[in-house]
Structure 1
Amino acid sequence: MYKKFRFSKATRALIVAATAVAISGIPQTALACTQVYIGSELTTTGDTFWGRAEDYANRYPKAFGVAPATKNGKVIQSYENDTNPKASFSYKIDGPTFRYTFVRDTPDNWTEAGDANAKAYSEAGTNEKGVSVSSTLTTNMSDAIDKVDPRIDTGIGEYSIHDFVLSQASTAREGVELLGKVIDEQGSQDCNQIVIGDANETWIFAQLSGKQWIAVKMASDQASLNPNMDNLKFDVDLEDSKNCLHSKDLKKVAEDAGTYVEKDGKMDVASSYGNSSKDQGVGQNTRYVQGHLYFGEKLTEGSDYTVDKDGSVATVANSTFYVKPAEKVDTFTVLRSLGARGEGTAVDANKNDKLYAIGNNRSTESHIFQVRKGLDVDIATIQWEGLSRTEFTLYIPSYSALLTEVDQDIYPNEVAYDTSHVGDIMEYSKDEDGNKIYDEKITESNEKIAMKDSGTKYLDYDLMDLNTLAYNHRKDVAEGVHAYLDVLQKDIIAQHETVDAQMKDVKDGKARMAFANKAHDVVSEQAQAKVHTLVQEVRDYLNAGDTSKPFAASDLAEGKLATALTYAEELAKFDADTAAKDVVEPVEEENTKQEAPAEGSADSKKADEARSMPTGVIGVIIAVVVAIAGFVVYRGRNKE
């Protein structure tokens, strides 16, 4: 899957014509996001954790919010390929749809006028039925499979999957079935892995090719980590419909492609559809090793993996879908896994700047769902949301199945989001070998923006600026920022446990909604204030120019917050039953708007002119796109 951003519509039309060639020219080093699953038997809390870091650009705005339910249906519309809706996936849902949370792109990156209808890349959320989705981790398929069952432009892709599933699914299994059915009917726009879960089970769903897919239910004694790899082997019985669902021609397509592989009498799906270890790319293989080492596995260079001249991991000997944590992991450890950089290992990106890391400088958001056993579906799942880059983020908890609103000052709606403080979203381009080439002028310009206060209370901006400055000044700033964020994160986790005990005593219905809204407002407001002060102190430190001592946050004293959070204390005073009367559930009559540029309009004429360009001009455009490969981007939350 690829992203076209901030182009005129005419330029987008030209790029669409070049897409097939451009994709073939993008190397596997371009992939760049990481997905994690930890079963309940492997955690200190007895909870299941799963989620993903979304990687794409250096300073990329994301909006956390609540999508309203609808009474009379909605249209799920993608603009992945063009501003004309007919060029991409479209699906009309008849009847009521559910309310859910999202972490969405701002529309200015998808339509020239910032059309509010461009609801793009919602990524992560939970609906009112307690179904959660993490969408998506981009993968790939072999060339042989691609020839037999290619991707379909109008098939469903990352742009739409989250909205499609959470609008309709009452259970995780139903979400899997709905997604599988629409792929059977309309195909896939790209190859991805998606996680769909509820209070009772978690499924990992793989879009393998144009119309082939498989979904596997994860077990409580399993853990998995995937950094965009399509060759991670897993054991599954295709006939066990309780634990595995798949497209009917799963085996046939691989057989027709000449890639079908069996192991111990069962289909090896990864080997049948994926590529070799070397073809995964050094960025993927390096993050694979970093992730396994982070959870305490013993991997040895030479026997378990090989490295190239730069120290990046070139190949992995046994690329498995599963990871084996050395000990049970707690909430903090899972949250921080998506910011890991191989610290203290042979693949430490802090010591070798040629290594690509899980916690890199182009994440846009990260999320972990914590699913607890034995609770009502509306409170069983906590969504931990970390905006901006993962390395220096702060995860905020929410009862997303119950949220009916968010603080618009801290989490502006994607349409209302003022993007004037973003700067250049991408600080680099890529050469034909897939290597990133940073533009120092853009990096410097973005840093100047980060050195100024945004003039807003956006948590996204505070974390964006903090990441820009701490990453760029790692030697003097990073350790002090990490020290503070770690203490703050652990305090939020501890206080939320107290808040959670209070939530369990709240009645069902609107009282719980009121409590969920209040809890999210309070923890968000207090966290934003702490982060805002932190980033301003970093600015003051850098402006002073004295780096004889490393940065240290003033709010950190002897390993504790100097000024404690009052999150749990505030919620203890809250009367949810009284507040319930003021809760308004967001509901629309319908959301079935589907528009293309009006015939004869300026935008329509530009698109028509672009599509009618001479072949020679198109050829030039294709050559340029392939050469720079940074304008048509396999989204590396997804692809870089």
Structure 2
Amino acid sequence: MACTTVIVGKKATINGSTLIARNCDAEVCNVPVKFIMVPAKSEKQTFHSYVSGVDIPLPTDALRYQMAPFVNYKKHGQFGECGINSANVAMSATESIYGNPQVLALDPLVDDGIGEDALLSIVLPFIHSAREGVERLGKLIAQYGSHEGNGIIFSDKDEIWYMEIPTGHWWAATRLPDNKAAVIANQVSEQEIDFDDPSHFMWADGLREFVNKYDLNPDVSGFNFRHIFGTHNARDHCYNTPRVWFGQNYLGHHAASPTSDALDFAFTPGRKLKHEDVAYILSSHYNETIYDPLGDTPEKTKFRPISMARCAESHILEIRNNVPKDYAAITWFNFAPTAFNPYVPFYANANGTALAYTGTTDKYDINQAYWQTRTVAALIQPDYDELKSLLIGLDGYLPAADQLGNELVHKTDDQASKLTDQKLTHYLTEANEKNAAAMLALSMDTIGKLVKTELTHSRLSFSINTDRLQN
């Protein structure tokens, strides 16, 4: 998966929440995904990977959690991708990253090891904090090895941890400072690892000794994980660094060049951030720059955009600190392509998401959320300039959806504040269904407008009245 990640600490957000978010970009368009709730279980389980073949025994007691797996999991692998569990711990897995040839020569990836398809299922149901997520995954990587290079994000109401596994067994994790944000795009991104500060950094046992033994550190001083394990080549400069450059600048942190190898990992944003700010980045295509592929400049195809047609889904996992914990956790879910579709709120303390999200099939069905979002994209892209006012205009689909999404959360919070225990969970389950239905109704209304407007641009047109032909 070639993805884009945005993370924001609780002191950098407008409402004190932690935010972790990512576009899940598949290798091809239209690999159907569903968004489901997996119930708590108390039984023996073994995870089997249809990608690497590894079998991993799991703990007996599993928490309830959300996930977004591929529909045809036996063909593509499960790829749970994102979710929040019943302990209000969030996980997004993964940001694909790539180790350099020097480190991979010494510690190659493990063919039958743990890959992205397995990570959510073998970790999220069994953790009660973000730090515990890093600890559990670190132990699993030591035992089974990593099938591929991955960056994994964990969060709870207080902490965000970003963990990178660029080789078969070596990894490091950084706790994002509360007042910082980060934008990550398919590169090893962590910078200085402080081995004297285990409260903010974690690492594989023996990491520093491995690097010293094989003379892998190119710097005179310090331990810059990116410099030691990462890449900085021509491919990065057209595929990866421009996305970080755009995201950092949008969030108010000056990044001078889209091809820089020195972009900061964590930075202080220029304002308090909302989930809409994160959504804007994940939905962007170098908007209002010469690099916009939907524009008309010679540079429009120079860089890989953030929003892609082959995005399988996108998510923003929000753990709030300004409401009671029983309804603090929300997944803002987008079936993509993100440039043309909104994020829909789903409460984590529920027994389900919504039928239109859980029932995705390989066969096209306009009533399924996955295919509905793709219908919007397919209709608007051929005549984007003529139709974009219906999307981003003053009364356009995306502004209207943003407003509706916030209204739904405010109304749901208000009613949730009056309930507890199972009554609350039951209510939030119903709210997920109703809120999704309201957003889907807006989507269908937009599809209708696009169909009516698109036909007026047909080349099969001719003006005529009773007296004469008109050009």
State the TM-score, normalized to the length of structure 1.
0.67
Write out aligned runs for 1:406-445 (5 A): 406-408=353-355, 410-413=356-359, 417-421=360-364
Matched, 1:271 2:227: yes
1:91 is aligned, of 36, 56, 79, to: 56
Query: Which is further off, 521-530 or 479-488?
Result: 479-488
1:365 is aligned, of 282, 297, 313, to: 313
> Secondary structure of 1:75's partner?
strand
2:376 is aligned, of 466, 470, 473, to: 466
Match of 2:285 in 1: 341
The question of whether the paired residues in 1 share the 8 Å contact of 2:49 and 2:55 is answered with yes
The question of whether the paired residues in 1 share the 8 Å contact of 2:91 and 2:152 is answered with yes
Match of 2:121 in 1: 163
Q: 1:372 to 1:412 in 2, by over 3 A?
A: closer
Instruction: Write the distance in 1 (CA, Å) between the matches of 2:454 and 2:235.
Output: 42
Residues 239-281 of structure 1, C-alpha deviation per residue, up to 9 Å, x if partnerless? 3222211101212333344322456x53111111111253524
Deviation at 1:339, TM superposition (A): 0.8
Matched, 1:403 2:350: yes
Q: Alignment RMSD, CA only?
A: 2.3
The question of whether the paired residues in 2 share the 8 Å contact of 1:208 and 1:214 is answered with no
The question of whether the paired residues in 2 share the 8 Å contact of 1:53 and 1:338 is answered with yes
Letter in 2 for 1:326: G
The question of whether the paired residues in 2 share the 8 Å contact of 1:223 and 1:322 is answered with yes
The question of whether the paired residues in 2 share the 8 Å contact of 1:338 and 1:390 is answered with yes
Query: Which is further off, 520-529 or 538-547?
Result: 538-547
Match of 2:469 in 1: none
Write out aligned runs for 1:199-218 (5 A): 199-218=157-176
Deviation at 1:358, TM superposition (A): 0.8
Deviation at 1:131, TM superposition (A): 1.2
The question of whether the paired residues in 2 share the 8 Å contact of 1:62 and 1:388 is answered with no
Letter in 2 for 1:381: A
Residues 334-355 of structure 1, C-alpha deviation per residue, up to 9 Å, x if partnerless? 2222011222234333324313
The question of whether the paired residues in 2 share the 8 Å contact of 1:198 and 1:381 is answered with no
Match of 2:156 in 1: 198
1:356 is aligned, of 290, 299, 304, to: 304
2:44 is aligned, of 54, 73, 76, to: 73
Matched, 1:110 2:56: no
The question of whether the paired residues in 2 share the 8 Å contact of 1:37 and 1:223 is answered with yes
Q: 1:516 to 1:51 in 2, by over 3 A?
A: same
Residues 299-353 of structure 1, C-alpha deviation per residue, up to 9 Å, x if partnerless? 4xxxx33xxxxxxx5x315222124433222232222220112222343333243
Q: 1:396 to 1:59 in 2, by over 3 A?
A: same
Q: Whose RCO is larger (CA < 8 A, sep 6+)?
A: 1
Match of 2:422 in 1: 510
State the TM-score, normalized to the length of structure 2.
0.90
Match of 1:450 in 2: none
Q: 1:139 to 1:477 in 2, by over 3 A?
A: same
Letter in 2 for 1:287: R
The question of whether the paired residues in 1 share the 8 Å contact of 2:17 and 2:157 is answered with no
Instruction: Write the distance in 1 (CA, Å) between the matches of 2:293 and 2:208.
Output: 40
Q: 1:503 to 1:150 in 2, by over 3 A?
A: farther
> Secondary structure of 1:253's partner?
helix
Letter in 2 for 1:289: W
Match of 1:391 in 2: 339
Instruction: Write the distance in 2 (CA, Å) between the matches of 1:503 and 1:197.
Output: 26
Q: Where do 5+ consecutive residues of structure 2 fail to align?
A: 460-471
Match of 1:325 in 2: 269
The question of whether the paired residues in 2 share the 8 Å contact of 1:148 and 1:256 is answered with no
Letter in 2 for 1:170: H
> Secondary structure of 2:338's partner?
coil
The question of whether the paired residues in 1 share the 8 Å contact of 2:21 and 2:278 is answered with no
Instruction: Write the distance in 2 (CA, Å) between the matches of 1:508 and 1:262.
Output: 55
Match of 2:451 in 1: 539
> Secondary structure of 1:266's partner?
coil
Deviation at 1:468, TM superposition (A): 2.1
Deviation at 1:486, TM superposition (A): 2.5
Instruction: Write the distance in 2 (CA, Å) between the matches of 1:385 and 1:50.
Output: 12
Task: Kindly report structure 1 stretches of 4+ aligned residues shifted beyond 4 Å.
Answer: none
Q: 1:219 to 1:298 in 2, by over 3 A?
A: closer
Q: 1:377 to 1:209 in 2, by over 3 A?
A: farther
The question of whether the paired residues in 1 share the 8 Å contact of 2:18 and 2:156 is answered with no
Write out aligned runs for 1:544-563 (5 A): 544-545=456-457
Q: 1:236 to 1:374 in 2, by over 3 A?
A: farther
Instruction: Write the distance in 2 (CA, Å) between the matches of 1:508 and 1:177.
Output: 32
The question of whether the paired residues in 2 share the 8 Å contact of 1:74 and 1:97 is answered with no
Q: 1:235 to 1:464 in 2, by over 3 A?
A: same
The question of whether the paired residues in 1 share the 8 Å contact of 2:18 and 2:157 is answered with no
Q: Where do 5+ consecutive residues of structure 1 fail to align?
A: 2-31, 82-87, 112-117, 306-312, 422-453, 548-640
Letter in 1 for 2:436: S
Residues 342-375 of structure 1, C-alpha deviation per residue, up to 9 Å, x if partnerless? 2223433332431321122221111011222265
Match of 1:53 in 2: 23
Residues 195-241 of structure 1, C-alpha deviation per residue, up to 9 Å, x if partnerless? 111122111111121011112111111110011122x3523312322
> Secondary structure of 2:35's partner?
strand
1:380 is aligned, of 313, 328, 331, to: 328
Q: 1:240 to 1:228 in 2, by over 3 A?
A: same
Letter in 2 for 1:541: T
> Secondary structure of 1:532's partner?
helix
Q: 1:524 to 1:374 in 2, by over 3 A?
A: closer
Letter in 2 for 1:319: L
> Secondary structure of 2:285's partner?
coil
> Secondary structure of 1:137's partner?
strand
Q: 1:36 to 1:514 in 2, by over 3 A?
A: same
The question of whether the paired residues in 2 share the 8 Å contact of 1:366 and 1:390 is answered with yes
1:481 is aligned, of 370, 391, 412, to: 391
Q: 1:472 to 1:293 in 2, by over 3 A?
A: farther
Letter in 1 for 2:199: K
Residues 545-567 of structure 1, C-alpha deviation per residue, up to 9 Å, x if partnerless? 359xxxxxxxxxxxxxxxxxxxx
- Sequence identity percentage: 20
Residues 52-98 of structure 1, C-alpha deviation per residue, up to 9 Å, x if partnerless? 011123223110011122221211111114xxxxxx22211141211
The question of whether the paired residues in 2 share the 8 Å contact of 1:227 and 1:284 is answered with yes
> Secondary structure of 2:134's partner?
helix
Instruction: Write the distance in 2 (CA, Å) between the matches of 1:474 and 1:536.
Output: 16
The question of whether the paired residues in 1 share the 8 Å contact of 2:285 and 2:293 is answered with yes
Match of 1:10 in 2: none
Deviation at 1:478, TM superposition (A): 2.9
Q: 1:233 to 1:130 in 2, by over 3 A?
A: closer
Residues 21-75 of structure 1, C-alpha deviation per residue, up to 9 Å, x if partnerless? xxxxxxxxxxx31100122222222322221011123223110011122221211
Instruction: Write the distance in 2 (CA, Å) between the matches of 1:533 and 1:485.
Output: 9
Letter in 2 for 1:236: I
Instruction: Write the distance in 2 (CA, Å) between the matches of 1:198 and 1:492.
Output: 26
Letter in 1 for 2:244: Y
